[in-house]
């Protein structure tokens, strides 16, 4: 089980590409996701992506994270990580390196399966934008279980592996019974190989209360629920004032985490200090900086009601408030 609160960071845009994080990888292409990029590049995909995999994150980044006070990283990977899925470029050796660098720098690791065949949510960060088809075909679900099994088997001796996340952000309209059936098969795959102290992490699929009730039916050891908390995407959140954002954090989010923690351990697997410009439009630059610091402090305080948190994301080519590294260096975040 989790012995202390985790202060973590996501290594987004590294082994699963997102155009907004690393637009240079998509330079000269019309592709919007990793699938279409690999298809558009064809034979040139391997060179471009391997260069990115081998240079975007290195051991120096792990050293920096450790010195900044980070205790763990969440590493998103694709179901194609082993390199045997067309048209994708594999990177299992790079993940091996990441596990070694993390061990050498004293950082714990959660491996997060961020994509599934056919897409579990239809968003670009699932590797394939469009209509989600993953849950409509049992062979796709079986392939996803197989990937989890291979990951668990490969890293079963890694003492710094603290968790495997079965699938990132299945959309709210994935049938609950189908999703829970997948969770059951994937949980069993992890437990065939892993230590009992390795967390099996499941997404709340944007319905935390319903998911928690359903999961109580199973006697699964060291099961952890992952909630992703943002106030930047919905029109309702965009219309909030800065004071209302902080109020929502202290009241709504704190209440949610406290309620969930009564029945299941929870981590906040993704969060950020990013806010929509609509919420900040009437503020001076100095007031904006103060807002970011206050919003960051409020979230980290409230997330003490969970078993840990992971900022999204470590860095972006454009910097800004989505970049943990820039937010730390600019004094907006303090660990």
Tell me which of 169, 217, 236, 247 is the catalytic residue: 169
- Run of H or E residues at 102: helix 92-105
Determine phi and psi for 144, rounding to 5 degrees: -65, -40
Per-residue tokens: 333: 């975040």
Tell me which of 270, 282, 304, 317 is the catalytic residue: 270
169 is catalytic: yes
Cβ atoms of residues 127 and 78 within 8 Å: yes
Nearest residue to 225 via CA among 251, 257, 248, 197: 257
Determine phi and psi for 22, rounding to 5 degrees: -130, 75
Residues 6+ apart with CB under 8 A from 45: 37, 38, 87, 89
236 DSSP 8-state letter: H
Tell me if residue 74 falls in helix, strand or coil. strand
210 is catalytic: no
The residues assigned a catalytic role are 169, 270
């Amino acid at each position: 089980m989790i012995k202390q609160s985790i202060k973590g960071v996501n290594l987004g845009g590294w082994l699963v590409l997102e155009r907004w994080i690393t637009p240079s990888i998509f330079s000269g292409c019309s592709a919007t996701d990793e699938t279409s990029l690999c298809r558009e590049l064809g034979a040139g995909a391997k060179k471009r992506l391997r260069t990115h995999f081998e240079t975007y994150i290195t051991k120096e980044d792990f050293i920096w994270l450790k010195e900044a006070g980070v205790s763990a990283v969440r590493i998103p990977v694709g179901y194609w990580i082993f390199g045997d899925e067309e048209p994708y470029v594999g990177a299992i050796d790079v993940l091996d390196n990441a596990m070694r660098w993390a061990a050498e720098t004293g950082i714990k690791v959660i491996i997060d399966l961020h994509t599934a065949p056919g897409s579990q949510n239809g968003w670009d960060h699932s590797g394939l934008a469009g209509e989600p088809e993953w849950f409509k075909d049992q062979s796709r679900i079986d392939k996803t279980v197989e990937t989890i099994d291979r990951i668990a088997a490969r890293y079963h001796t890694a003492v710094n592996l603290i968790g495997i996340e079965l699938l990132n952000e299945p959309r709210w309209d994935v049938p609950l019974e189908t999703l829970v059936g997948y969770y059951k098969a994937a949980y069993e795959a992890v437990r065939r190989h892993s230590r009992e102290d390795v967390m099996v992490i499941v997404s709340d699929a944007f319905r935390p209360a319903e998911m928690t009730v359903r999961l109580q039916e199973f006697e699964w050891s060291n099961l952890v629920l992952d909630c992703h908390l943002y106030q930047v995407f919905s029109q309702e959140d965009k219309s909030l004032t800065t004071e209302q954002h902080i109020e929502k954090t202290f009241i709504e989010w704190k209440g949610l985490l406290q309620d969930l923690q009564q029945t299941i351990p929870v981590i906040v697997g993704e969060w950020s200090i990013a806010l929509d410009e609509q919420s900040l439009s009437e503020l001076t630059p100095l007031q904006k900086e103060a807002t970011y610091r206050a919003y960051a402090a409020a979230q980290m305080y409230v997330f003490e009601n969970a078993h840990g948190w992971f900022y999204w994301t470590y860095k972006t080519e454009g910097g800004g408030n989505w970049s943990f590294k820039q937010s730390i260096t600019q004094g907006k975040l303090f660990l």
